Structure 1
Amino acid sequence: MIEFTNQEKKSLIAINAEKILHATEQSRSLINNNIGYADGVGAVWALKKKGFNNSIKIPGCELWLDIVGRYYKSRSFYLVGSTEEVILQTVKKLRSEFPGIHLAGFRNGYIKTEDEKNTLLFDIVTKKPDVVFVAMGSPKQELLMQEMQQKHKAIYQGLGGSFDVFIGNVKRAPHWWVKNNLEWAYRLIKQPSRIKRQIQLLLFIFNLLLGKY
């Protein structure tokens, strides 16, 4: 998958139950013109129901580090997203864990004006990174990656909150929960405020059983 993405120079877009449930023409177009991957168990269930029985879950918070691990000795990277504090900690940890990594640039995800966005796009075009990670949440990160792709061809991946996971601000579920596709339940136990989002998963499952996907 990583090699295919490298050849195609497209965006990697995570797909989960919530995104499928609230899909729009715009979001479908973004996925169809790029490379979608099942970041959640709901997306895996939907694929298997369509006959893709070998489908597996690929957590985005692991995939981006696999890409870094494969290419950090030979490619350049650019990071966009999260708060200033988090992006600085992310850069520090990347440099520690991947000695010699070439970070062409980085900035936080709070792009408030058109001028700030244009400055970022200009920097991307000027520095020509091979890989760009954008951690701003959907659909904001996907729309920004689309604009970047139009200016500069590279591997792009939307990361949501993966920088926070990487530096330890957000703890992932223990292995057993992940292995048994219960990471969503673990996160709900740890963050009861996520109940509204998890209701979306139940609605998705109901629609899936009705054959709407």
Structure 2
Amino acid sequence: MNKVSLNGVITYSFNSRSDLIELASQKKKSLIAINAEKILNATEQSRSLINKNIGYTDGVGAVWALKRKGFKETIKIPGCELWLDIITKFHESRSFYLVGAKEEVIVATIEKLQREYPGINILGYRNGYVQSIDEQEKLIETITKLKPDIVFVAMGSPKQELIMQEMQEHHSAIYQGLGGSFDVYVGNVERAPKSWVKNNLEWAYRLIKQPRRIKRQIHLVRFAFNVIIGRY
């Protein structure tokens, strides 16, 4: 499987989502979404976390950088869609545990999954407000005891990556960090229209909807400059 170091962040080039899911099933690692911001602002800690696992091209900037490196078939894999691809493939054969979002959101997520995937084996769930060491230890104890095959953690970066790594040290499974994907799934947050997503303009749609994101989007310009001059 092809992979490239971008500012020290190892990012895999996938030609299909099924290739990523197959690798995840074999390796039992954490799936970590990589975008321009994560590459640009990489730290020793974040590089270590990502490079132990599977960093995939969730952002258009990461896709563009890999294509510039010669991996022309690299595709964008939105994390908010990937977790549902994983459920679609494994809901009849694997077990799941979900962590993240507000209590009402995670409950609505579980109810919707049970409607859409009858018979899905969800071993447990909890909200994403893990606010103390004691709560984190109890969550890890629960994961270790139940031994789910797949764990989804929607807490935002870098918190979700850090807690997934702790879980991974106690129980080997497929883990995926999801950010705000549960809110998207239950309809609390609107994604960009399909035409915007298809044309890699989801970032622009978010910027229109949330102008305060302009400070984050400036990272794309800095990132593009670094890729063009060959720094990454």
- 1:188-203 pair list within 5 angstroms: 188-203=207-222
1:95 aligns with 2:114: yes
2:52 pairs with one of 26, 33, 36: 33
Tell me the CA shift for residue 93 of structure 1. 0.7
Tell me the secondary structure at the aligned position of residue 133 of structure 1: strand
- Alignment partners' CA distance in 2, 1:4 and 1:42: 23
Aligned length: 213
Tell me the CA shift for residue 21 of structure 1. 0.6
Tell me the secondary structure at the aligned position of residue 190 of structure 2: coil
1:43 is matched with: 62
Tell me the CA shift for residue 206 of structure 1. 2.0
- Alignment partners' CA distance in 2, 1:199 and 1:111: 31
TM-score using structure 1 length: 0.97
1:204 aligns with 2:209: no
- Alignment partners' CA distance in 2, 1:88 and 1:201: 35
- Alignment partners' CA distance in 1, 2:159 and 2:219: 20
- Bigger mean CA offset, 63-72 vs 23-32: 23-32
- Alignment partners' CA distance in 1, 2:68 and 2:49: 23
1:180 aligns with 2:199: yes
- 1:9-24 pair list within 5 angstroms: 9-24=28-43
Tell me the CA shift for residue 210 of structure 1. 2.2
- Alignment partners' CA distance in 1, 2:114 and 2:231: 46
2:131 is matched with: 112
Tell me the secondary structure at the aligned position of residue 137 of structure 1: coil
1:157 is matched with: 176
1:136 aligns with 2:136: no
Tell me the CA shift for residue 180 of structure 1. 1.1
TM-score using structure 2 length: 0.90
Tell me the secondary structure at the aligned position of residue 197 of structure 1: helix
Tell me the CA shift for residue 208 of structure 1. 1.8
2:77 is matched with: 58
Tell me the CA shift for residue 207 of structure 1. 1.9
Q: Structure 1 stretches of 5 or more lacking a match?
A: none
Matching residue's letter, 2:32: I
- Alignment partners' CA distance in 2, 1:133 and 1:76: 11
Tell me the CA shift for residue 20 of structure 1. 0.5
1:72 is matched with: 91
Residue-by-residue CA offset, 1:138-164 (whole Å, 9 max, x unaligned): 111011000000000000000011111
Across the aligned residues of Structure 1 and Structure 2, the Cα RMSD in angstroms comes to 0.9
1:170 is matched with: 189
Tell me the CA shift for residue 62 of structure 1. 0.5
Identity of aligned residues (%): 70
- Alignment partners' CA distance in 2, 1:115 and 1:140: 16
Q: Structure 2 stretches of 5 or more lacking a match?
A: 1-19
